[in-house]
Amino acid sequence: MQENRVTVYIPTKNREEKIRRAVNSVLSQTHENLELIVVNDGSTDGTGAYLSSIDDTRVVCISNETSLGACESRNAAIRAASGRYITGLDDDDWFYPDHLEKLLRCFDENFSFVAFKPLPAVSWPVPLPYREVTAGDLLHHNFVGNQVLTLTTRLKSINGFDKRFPALQDQEVWIRLSEKFGAGKLYFYNSYHFYQGNDLDRISNNVSYRLSALAQLEEKYSERLAPSHRQSLTIKKYLFSGKRIGGSLLLHSLNRVNFLLCLSNVFKGKLRIGRYSDEVDN
């Protein structure tokens, strides 16, 4: 591994136009010592031809003849990674030019990872304030988001993503990463652009997948869940399903960790409160 090289992995399937934008954003980074691994997960559009046309020695393409899913594709990239550091990018998102440079400046090996949470109004003060995120925090909620930067050896040591999860794979892998290597660092800085479209094929939009993954998360970490974690999981079930949560149940499920999240989702109309709860399948 080269000392300062960053591996960026992108799984993609049938999103030719979006993957072009994502790839260009990586190759335009101010930190040029990088390796980009794109995993073509059985695409049937022009994605394969586009990837074959890229003339940059920093780009590595892996092709799945048939679709294996995002987790398997990410794990293939993680196994092939040669950079000292590693981070990911979804094929419909993109990096701002200084993303990798800033992540590296903020990375500290005493923490398991570093992550940025986009806040458009935040500039780049020095030193930039951050909060620590523990495994216990992540059992409440994925405060980190969908990407972190960590040492490649660390992500390999925990065997990457758990393919059994139909959703919430990022939250689950950050839990394991922070359990093994300690708290992560979360900065509020806008250098990663999240696509705001409403693609129907996005896993994050699939209610049944999200509820199933939530049940799996509860089962996998059942021995480590405190009462407050179970309170947060109860609220998540209603948040994901779109069903009303009774006022009494909500009050009994609030705690210091989930209070602001609940308040935010109520104001956004994502968490619906009723006199009585609608039933939610567990």
**CATH for 57:** 3.90.550.10
Instruction: Answer yes or no: do 188 and 242 share one domain.
Output: no
Identify which of 171, 4, 25 has the alpha carbon closest to the alpha carbon of residue 103: 4
Instruction: Answer yes or no: do 119 and 230 share one domain.
Output: no
Q: What is the pLDDT of residues 52-79, one digit of tens each?
A: 999 999 999 999 999 999 999 999 999 9
Inside any domain, residue 143 = yes
Q: How confident is the model at residue 129 (pLDDT cuts 50, 70, 90)?
A: confident
Instruction: Answer yes or no: do 146 and 231 share one domain.
Output: no
Instruction: Answer yes or no: do 172 and 230 share one domain.
Output: no
Q: What is the pLDDT of residues 166-205, one digit of tens each?
A: 999 999 999 999 999 999 999 988 899 998 775 555 555 6
Q: In what order do the strands lie in the sheet with 150-151?
A: 59-64, 34-41, 6-12, 85-88, 150-151
Q: Count structural domains, the chain.
A: 2
Please, what sign has the CA dihedral across residues 56, 60, 65, 69?
Answer: negative
Q: How confident is the model at residue 119 (pLDDT cuts 50, 70, 90)?
A: confident
Inside any domain, residue 129 = yes
The domain in which residue 117 lies consists of: 6-193
User: Is the pLDDT assigned to residue 278 strictly greater than 60?
Assistant: yes
